[in-house]
Amino acid sequence: MYHSTSNPRASRSPCEELSGPRRGTSEIGSSASTRNPMADWQIREKRPLRGPRPEPAGPAVKNYITPAGLQRLKDEHVFLLSRERPAVVEVVAWAASNGDRSENADYLYGKRRLGQIDSRIRFLTKRIDAAVVVDPAAPRSGSAATRVFFGATVTYKDAAGLEHVVSIVGIDEVDLDRGYISWRSPLGNALMKASPGDRVELRAPAKTEHLEIIEVEYAPIPMDPFREPLGAQSTPKVERS
């Protein structure tokens, strides 16, 4: 009988290393053939997933926010969870009882709206859980009272000599019409930790602009409260006489 002296593993290709040992003609389709766990894993990876894979756990990103901004998120969360969602569920249940769901506009719209509400509730829950409340009006001692941090209202001069006033708030509180900018925005990053008289660089994709800090103030930053949106399902309908 012929005996080979070569190493059988050395002659195998990389594909054979992943797919397991070669099978003879009689082994293919045999119920007694040995299953390769690695091959099974590859097959499972290529199959379409039934749902999204869970994201790996990681450190939670801090959500710096003012007290009024956090209250607005909480009010919206309560409204969606206790009023709007139950009202939409009631409409969906009523529409489902009316027959064919595939051509039922009330049912299809209600299901889509319900998905939007649930997505918003999950988002608000994460933002509230990660909230770190900073009161802009809280007294600050030493150099912290004149340096730019979260909650500061800053007056600065641009390269053209024009003065601007901005307040640094959370990403859920941005209102450009009122000069409320996020602490994570390019302008917020440029102003951070600066003091009156300092010159900072605002780096933008098109150019780099030099800004001069004129004044830093810590005072209350007014926030609009949460208001029930127009057309909400839970809004009481006015009956006409």
Averaged over 56-85, what is the pLDDT?
89
Q: Which of 12, 30, 10, 32 is nearest to 21 (CA)?
A: 12
Burial class from Cβ neighbours inside 10 Å (0-12, 13-18, 19+) for residue 146 reads: middle
| Residue 8 pLDDT exceeds 50 | no
Residue 47: the pLDDT is: 42
Q: Average model confidence (pLDDT) for the chain? A: 80
Q: Which residue has the tokens 């098109």?
A: 206
Residue 218: the pLDDT is: 98
| Residue 15 pLDDT exceeds 60 | no
Q: How far apart are CA 102 and CA 219, in angstroms?
A: 55
Structure token pair of residue 119: 């997505």
Residue 42: the pLDDT is: 44
pTM: 0.71
Q: What are the tens digits of pLDDT across the range 198-221? A: 999 999 888 899 999 999 999 999
173-184 per-residue burial string, b: 16 or more CB within 10 A, e: under 16: bbeeebebbbbe
